[in-house]
């Protein structure tokens, strides 16, 4: 289960004097949905291109499915949509997929299968140049899924989709993940990553800041207790959580560094000290909070 599908080692790409990707070492495990999160220009696409062998690293290396990235025996087992769909404008959606299927020696039935998956079957006869942005994007995802690859790499697949389209795309990725598909999904949308990814790599300015599970990244949840009188409540809770473990956050509310499971004990303790408990809530840090802390650069991010 913990088999490595992707492993990069000090992956670096330099354009002139700009370091687009700076010593990125990341790992993707089989069967997981890996979120590659970062603002515009962070180096997501550049990293993914190196992973696919579209461009060569300045330094470092990437191994995909146990082999050096870029060889035909590897790319044949990857499906990818990198920085927007690239198709023949004069061909219909179906003929575009037929062409791409022929490149892999796949039968035409495979084309129908992926068209159904992205819900494009009824527009498949229309020319690609007449497609809306969202339809083009979906055709790109369909092409990536041709031949049921072992690894699916989707670079901002929800780009250009309306809210319903975004929800469909997320549902598609979730259903693929449930079937055991390994997916790398880049995004600058935190909510998206939080919703569908198992693990996240956060990249900013070409550097991988952190790689962990979504839960780990957010940190443990904390308890918030509104109780009066506040001074007595503070003293009482400190007996449980220690002097450092409690903070006043205003409105007669205390933030307590205790796991959610400790809530009943905290309430019993306060009641035993004749303190009135008005409200106990669980405060979760969002990925967004964590991200802002990490990057200090949030202007381009949308949540």
Compose the 23-62 pattern: x for residues touching Mg ion by CB under 5 A, - for all others: ----------------------x-----------------
* Closer by beta carbon to ligand ATP, 15 or else 88: 15
188 binds ligand ATP (CB under 6 A): yes
Tokens of 101: 């299927």
Residue nearest to Mg ion (CB): 45
Give the distance from CA 292 to its chain's centroid: 16
Dist. CA 79–CA 141, nearest whole Å:
9
- Token pair 């992973």 is found at 51
| Angle subtended at Cα 251 by Cα 238 and Cα 259, rounded to the nearest 5 degrees | 40
Q: Which helix (H) or strand (E) holds 114?
A: helix 108-117
By a kind-dependent CB cut-off of 5 to 8 A, residue 146 interacts, out of Mg ion, another protein, ligand ATP, none, with another protein
By a kind-dependent CB cut-off of 5 to 8 A, residue 43 interacts, out of ligand ATP, another protein, Mg ion, none, with ligand ATP
Dist. CA 6–CA 151, nearest whole Å:
9
Tokens of 25: 């070492």
Q: Catalog residues that contact another protein under the rule CB under 8 A.
A: 49, 52-56, 71-72, 75-80, 82, 84-91, 95, 98-100, 102-105, 140, 143-144, 146-147
By a kind-dependent CB cut-off of 5 to 8 A, residue 38 interacts, out of Mg ion, another protein, ligand ATP, none, with ligand ATP
Q: Which residues, 28 to 57, sit near ligand ATP by CB under 6 A?
A: 38, 40-46
Cα–Cα nearest to 46, from 203, 183, 196, 169:
203
* Closer by beta carbon to ligand ATP, 37 or else 146: 37
* Closer by beta carbon to another protein, 25 or else 99: 99
Cα–Cα nearest to 159, from 177, 140, 173, 145:
140
By a kind-dependent CB cut-off of 5 to 8 A, residue 105 interacts, out of ligand ATP, another protein, Mg ion, none, with another protein
- Token pair 């991988």 is found at 208
Asked whether the CA dihedral 115, 119, 122, 124 is positive or negative, the reply is negative
Strand, coil or helix: what is 286? coil
Dist. CA 224–CA 245, nearest whole Å:
12
* Closer by beta carbon to Mg ion, 39 or else 165: 39
User: What minimum distance in Å lies between the beta carbon of 44 and ligand ATP?
Assistant: 3
* Closer by beta carbon to another protein, 56 or else 248: 56
Interface with Mg ion: number of residues (CB under 5 A): 1
20 binds ligand ATP (CB under 6 A): yes
Decide if 260 contacts 267 (C-beta within 8 A): no
Q: What residue ranges bind ligand ATP (CB under 6 A)?
A: 15, 18, 20, 38, 40-46, 188
């Amino acid at each position: 289960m913990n088999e490595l599908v992707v492993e990069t080692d000090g992956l670096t790409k330099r354009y002139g004097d700009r370091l687009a990707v700076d010593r990125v070492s990341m790992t993707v495990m089989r069967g997981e949905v890996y979120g590659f999160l970062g603002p515009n220009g962070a180096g997501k696409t550049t990293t993914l291109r190196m992973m696919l062998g579209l461009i060569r690293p300045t330094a470092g290396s990437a191994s995909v499915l146990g082999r050096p990235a870029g060889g035909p025996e590897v790319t044949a087992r990857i499906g990818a949509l990198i920085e927007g769909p690239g198709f023949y404008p004069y061909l219909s959606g179906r003929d575009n997929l037929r062409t791409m299927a022929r490149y892999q020696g796949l039968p035409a039935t495979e084309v129908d299968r992926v068209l159904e998956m992205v819900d494009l079957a009824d527009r498949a006869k229309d020319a690609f140049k007449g497609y809306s942005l969202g339809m083009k994007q979906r055709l790109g995802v369909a092409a990536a899924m041709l031949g049921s690859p072992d690894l699916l790499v989707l670079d901002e697949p929800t780009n250009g989709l309306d809210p319903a389209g975004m929800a469909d795309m997320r549902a598609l990725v979730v259903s693929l993940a449930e079937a055991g598909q390994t997916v790398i999904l880049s995004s600058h949308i935190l909510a998206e990553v939080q919703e569908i990814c198992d693990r996240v790599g956060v990249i900013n300015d070409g550097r991988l800041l952190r790689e962990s599970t979504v839960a780990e990244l957010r940190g443990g949840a904390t308890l918030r207790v509104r109780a009066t009188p506040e001074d007595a409540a503070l003293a009482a809770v400190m007996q449980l959580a220690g002097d450092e473990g409690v903070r006043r956050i205003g409105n007669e509310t205390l933030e307590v560094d205790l796991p959610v499971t400790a809530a009943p004990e905290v309430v019993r303790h306060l009641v035993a000290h004749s303190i009135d408990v008005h409200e106990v809530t669980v405060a979760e840090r969002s990925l967004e909070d964590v991200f802002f802390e990490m990057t200090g650069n949030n202007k381009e991010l949308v949540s």
